[in-house]
């Protein structure tokens, strides 16, 4: 067994910023166990059509995942958490997990212009790529969700890696 601590990677970024794409890439590169919130919520059932549906579903999913995530980290496996770390409350939830497990962490922040996020959202809605667990996300829902996005600051005390994305090629 390695002497290095397992790492919990998590991601902050608006809808359409590329959180799931980055999570999949990180899981292969690290390597790490990939845990995708959207996949778990879809498997647990219940339709998500508006923000309050998502809030209910994510609350249920996160309660279920805490002991599972701690156990994975405690046995020495790193994890890429494809759960949005978009608010101080979200990030505090993740902090509780990695601290309880004695793991390290990296918060990946996707700095993507809103216009590019919307372009990607339109493309995703049109193409319905494999691995997409929700139906169409409207621009109205994008704007509603984006109101709650709070970029992390150094004062929160996370090890932050910023990913600046300016084109749809990345």
Give pLDDT < 70 ranges for the chain.
1-3, 46, 129-135, 167-170
What is the rounded distance in angstroms from the CA atom of residue 106 to the CA atom of residue 10? 6
pLDDT score at 57: 83
Mean pLDDT over the full length of the chain: 89
Neighbour tally for 3: CB within 10 Å: 4
Compute φ and ψ for 17, nearest 5 degrees. Answer: -75, -25
User: Which CATH class name applies to 7-163?
Assistant: alpha beta
What is the rounded distance in angstroms from the CA atom of residue 74 to the CA atom of residue 47? 33
- pTM, to two decimals: 0.89
In this structure, are residues 52 and 100 in contact, taking their beta carbons and an 8 Å threshold?
A: no
In this structure, are residues 61 and 44 in contact, taking their beta carbons and an 8 Å threshold?
A: yes
- pLDDT tens-digit profile of 83-114? 989 999 999 999 999 999 999 999 999 999 99
């Amino acid at each position: 067994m390695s002497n290095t601590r397992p790492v919990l990677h998590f991601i902050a970024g608006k809808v359409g910023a590329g959180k799931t794409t980055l999570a999949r890439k990180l899981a292969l590169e690290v390597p790490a166990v990939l845990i995708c919130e959207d996949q778990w919520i879809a498997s647990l059932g219940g339709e998500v059509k508006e923000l309050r549906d998502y809030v209910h579903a994510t609350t249920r999913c996160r309660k279920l995942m805490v002991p599972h995530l701690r156990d994975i980290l405690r046995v020495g496996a790193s994890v890429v958490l494809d759960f949005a770390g978009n608010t101080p409350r979200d990030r505090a939830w993740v902090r509780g997990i990695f601290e309880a497990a004695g793991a390290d962490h990296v918060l990946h922040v996707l700095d993507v212009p809103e216009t590019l996020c919307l372009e990607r959202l339109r493309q995703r809605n049109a193409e319905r790529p494999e691995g997409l667990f929700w139906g169409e996300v409207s621009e109205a829902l994008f704007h509603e969700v984006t109101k709650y996005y709070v970029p992390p600051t150094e004062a929160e005390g996370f090890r932050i890696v910023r990913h600046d994305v300016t084109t749809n090629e990345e």
